[in-house]
Every structure is written in C-alpha cells, then in structure tokens.
Amino acid sequence: MEELKKKIREVPDFPKPGILFYDLTTLLKDKDGLRSVIDILTEKYKGLGIEKVVGIESRGFIVGPGVAYNLGAGFVPVRKKGKLPAEKITVTYDLEYGQDVLEMHKDAIEPGQRVLIVDDLIATGGTAAATVRMVRQLNGEVTGLAFIVELEFLNGREKLDGYEVFSILRY
C-alpha cells in the first residue's frame, strides 16, 4: 500500500489555498498502479452478485468500467447537471459553499439490482451520499461503496452510515 501511495502526487493549495489535492493521474498512468487498484476492487467485490457499477463524474469513470468489466456487471455514469439526454432523476446536495446537482438516467438501474458505487476519493462523503440517494430512489440495492483514497479526518463515512464502505488507501 505504501508503494501505491508513493504513486499519488500530492499538490498543495489546489484548487484553492489550504486544500491538499491528491492527484491520482500519476497512479493511473502507471501500468502497475492501474492494474493494482482495479485488481484490488475486483477481488473485494467478486462473487457478490454485483449487477451495476455506478461511477461518479468524472474520476469515477476511470476506474468504474474496469471493475464492472471484471465483475461481469454493467456500468452506469452519475453525471453533473444537464449532461444526460434521456429521462433522469436528480439530487441536490450541499457543498462547503452552496449546492451541487447530480443526475442519473431513470432506466439505469432496475428494482432490486445489486449496485457498487465507485469514485476515486471520498472526502466529506457528500457526493457519495447523494449518489446513494439516487440508487435508492430507483430501488437499487447498494451492496457497497468503494474508493481508491479516503480522507479519514473528514469523516465521510458518517454520511454513509449503514452502508459498506471500502477504501484502498487512507490518509
């Protein structure tokens, strides 16, 4: 795990002063790094009957499809407002300052389907919790939530109480 951490570039004061940004592009461009994160997530969730992997825009789109492919599941994108063309559901959630909106196609998940939610990083957990709300609204069953990086000091898990949350690397 320390080897994987070394592949992540830490950029101070991005996108604004005081934020330490975990830049995963340096991990993902590394063939062993990319393989490791997809293999770890595949091992963790194989055999659990996952039917849909839901990836959160935009960095959930990078790892999600690889894991879905390995699990024999479909891939569903959660997108920012105004990007999806067909009938959709919408969720509004609070940011540090203001609010944001995420959307998912209404026919993306069938009732009772087992869903794995994937993103690159969990910080406050707001984005992941909003995604859980949409999956629940479509009567999907959230089998788990998986992240490459978890910023534990922000207590994002508390917003996902009752759900199985997994992260590969913790800070």
Distances from the Cα of 75 to the Cα of 27, 56, 104, angstroms: 22, 11, 12
Q: What residue type is assigned to position 98 of the chain?
A: G
Beta-bridge partner residues of 94: 99
Question: What radius of gyration do the chain's Cα atoms show?
Answer: 15
Q: Is 119 in the site for ligand AMP (CB under 6 A)?
A: yes
**Among 8, 104, 123, 148, contact with ligand AMP (rule: CB under 6 A):** 123
Distances from the Cα of 98 to the Cα of 80, 94, 101, angstroms: 15, 6, 11
Per-residue contact string for residues 134-153; x = within reach of ligand AMP by CB under 6 A: --------------------
Per-residue contact string for residues 58-97; x = within reach of ligand AMP by CB under 6 A: -x--------------------------------------
Q: Is 121 in the site for ligand AMP (CB under 6 A)?
A: yes
Q: How many residues bind ligand AMP (CB under 6 A)?
A: 17
Q: Is 120 in the site for ligand AMP (CB under 6 A)?
A: yes
Which residue from 129, 118, 117 is spatially nearest to 159, judged by alpha carbons?
129
- Specify whether 59 is catalytic: yes
- 139 vs 95: CA distance, rounded Å: 25
Pick between residue 111 and residue 162 the one whose CB is nearest to ligand AMP: 162
By annotation, the residues acting in catalysis are 59, 96
Binding footprint of ligand AMP on the chain (CB under 6 A):
19-22, 56, 59, 119-128, 156
